[in-house]
Amino acid sequence: MDDLISRQAAIDALDCINGVEEVLRSLPSAQPKQTDCCYCHEDSDGYVTPLEKNCHAFIRFGMNGWCLELSAKGWHGEAKINYCPMCGRRFR
């Protein structure tokens, strides 16, 4: 079964067994850190890959946090986002 569990919930449920807490804390995360998405990580020049090939939509970190920035025919808008729409990485 490929389900995710809360490490803290497992620790709380099993804290009566000696050594279990140390073993659970040493386990790797079920959701490893995402570091190579070209849409939400900058390249060596500081740019991200646009979501749309004509550069009308891209992800950026601004003054209000992570956002999806859109533009078309003189119109410009942005929407705050909590996850990368391409890789699913949670923005914190």
Give the global pTM. 0.55
- pLDDT for the residue numbered 82: 92
Give per-residue pLDDT as tens, 25-46. 777 666 666 678 888 888 888 8
Give the Cα separation of 54 and 48 in Å (integer). 13
Residue 76, amino acid: H
Please, are residues 59 and 81 in contact by the beta-carbon 8 Å criterion? Answer: yes
Q: Where are the alpha helices (DSSP H) in 2-85?
A: 7-13, 20-26
Low-confidence ranges of the chain (pLDDT < 70): 1-3, 13-19, 28-34
Two tokens, residue 50: 């646009």
Secondary structure letter of residue 35 according to DSSP: -
